[in-house]
């Protein structure tokens, strides 16, 4: 018998015994026969199992993508219009991207230039930042400093971005002294920044970002949300541009 015939035989055998199995279960002999048929089929063509696993993985990935799209749609307002979220680009842009990032993440640092180039190239894009400190206490300290800096912005995120640029550079972990100096250099009030960092509302903002990330199945940084698509990891300028164009096309 060929592999296909063996599987058909197994299927027919299972179907024929379904009613009896429901009432009495398979006999030892029947179970042994089924196992023998399947074992022989897999021995004759091991790729069957690999193809089955691949198909299951593809199906799981498809279901996960659908679930993530649903979560993005349900969280749209929180994603793009969160109160207190730093943002750059065109406030009235027709496409809003969201980046979940950690200042200590090397891949987040890697795509900084990519994001800057996209914003410079496309005047109709808005980029929202979601501080997501997941790499230890230093990340939490940096996120608090950035959100505190944003409080000193005047209707934009210019001072936030200046401090962000300083903290995203590789270097020692931030301390009160280094944060005060970096803040003052960025045109911020360093003393006020350190005080604002202790405000429970700052921690609440971070907690909200982490909760949202969990809801969207964001498990690492960077992670970009463009339209209804979640893109984990560093993404190229070309791919990001294509996602923006795709999102713009769907909304047009």
DSSP characters over 182-203: HHHHTTS-HHHHHHHTT-HHHH
111 and 67 share a domain? no
b/e per residue 54-79 (b: at least 16 CB within 10 A): eeeeeeeeeeeeeebeebbeebeebb
Q: Residue 250 and residue 150: Cα distance in Å, rounded?
A: 32
CATH for 207: 3.40.30.10
Q: Residue 104 and residue 143: Cα distance in Å, rounded?
A: 10
Radius of gyration of the chain (CA): 26
147 within domain boundaries: yes
pLDDT in tens, 66-122: 667 888 989 888 998 877 889 999 999 999 999 999 999 999 999 999 999 999 999
| Band (52; pLDDT cuts 50, 70, 90) | low
115 and 234 share a domain? yes
Provide the 8-state DSSP code for 248.
H
| Band (8; pLDDT cuts 50, 70, 90) | very low
Q: Is the pLDDT at 155 greater than 80, yes or no?
A: no
Stretch 13-34: mean pLDDT: 58
Residue 182: CB atoms within 10 Å:
21
81 within domain boundaries: no
pLDDT in tens, 29-50: 877 887 787 777 777 777 766 7
Number of domains the chain contains? 2
34 and 114 share a domain? no
pLDDT in tens, 197-237: 999 999 999 999 999 999 999 999 999 999 889 999 999 99
Q: Which residue has the tokens 């912005």?
A: 153
64 and 115 share a domain? no
Q: Is the pLDDT at 14 greater than 70, yes or no?
A: no
- pTM of the full predicted structure? 0.74
- The dihedral built from the CA positions of residue 231, 237, 241 and 242, taken in this order, carries a sign that is negative
54 and 91 share a domain? no
240 and 181 share a domain? yes
105 within domain boundaries: yes
CB 128, CB 99: distance < 8 Å: yes
| Structural domain range at position 91 | 86-251
Q: Residue 61 and residue 232: Cα distance in Å, rounded?
A: 14
Q: Is the pLDDT at 180 greater than 50, yes or no?
A: yes
* Residues recorded for the chain: 252
Q: Among 74, 99, 115, where does a domain finish?
A: 74
206 within domain boundaries: yes
10 and 109 share a domain? no
15 and 56 share a domain? yes
80 within domain boundaries: no
Q: What six digits make up the tokens of 123?
A: 């005047």
27 and 94 share a domain? no
40 and 120 share a domain? no
219 within domain boundaries: yes
Q: Among 74, 100, 132, where does a domain finish?
A: 74
Q: What six digits make up the tokens of 200?
A: 């429970």
122 within domain boundaries: yes
155 and 208 share a domain? yes
Helix or strand holding residue 53 (H, E): helix 47-74
79 within domain boundaries: no
53 and 91 share a domain? no
b/e per residue 106-131 (b: at least 16 CB within 10 A): eebbebbebbeebbeebeebbbbbbb
């Amino acid at each position: 018998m060929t592999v296909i015939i063996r599987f058909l035989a197994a299927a027919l055998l299972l179907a024929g015994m379904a009613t009896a199995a429901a009432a009495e279960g398979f006999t030892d002999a029947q179970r042994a026969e089924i196992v023998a048929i399947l074992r022989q089929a897999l021995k004759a063509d091991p790729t069957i199992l690999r193809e089955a696993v691949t198909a299951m993985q593809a199906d799981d990935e498809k279901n996960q993508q659908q679930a993530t799209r649903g979560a993005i749609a349900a969280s749209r307002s929180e994603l793009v219009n969160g109160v207190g979220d730093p943002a750059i680009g065109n406030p009235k842009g027709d496409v809003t991207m969201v980046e979940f990032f950690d200042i200590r993440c090397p891949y987040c640092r890697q795509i900084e230039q990519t994001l800057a180039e996209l914003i410079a190239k496309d005047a109709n894009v808005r980029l929202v930042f979601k501080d997501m400190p997941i790499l230890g206490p230093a990340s939490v300290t940096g996120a608090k400093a950035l959100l505190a800096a944003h409080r000193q912005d005047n209707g934009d995120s210019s001072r936030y971005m200046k401090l962000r640029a300083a903290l995203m550079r590789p270097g020692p972990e931030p301390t009160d002294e280094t944060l005060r100096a970096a803040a003052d250099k960025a045109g911020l009030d360093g003393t006020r920044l350190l005080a604002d960092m202790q405000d429970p509302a700052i921690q609440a903002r971070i907690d909200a970002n982490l909760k949202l990330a969990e809801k969207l199945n964001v498990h690492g940084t960077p992670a970009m949300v463009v339209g209804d698509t979640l893109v984990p990891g560093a993404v190229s300028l070309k791919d990001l541009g294509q996602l923006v164009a795709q999102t713009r096309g769907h909304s047009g």
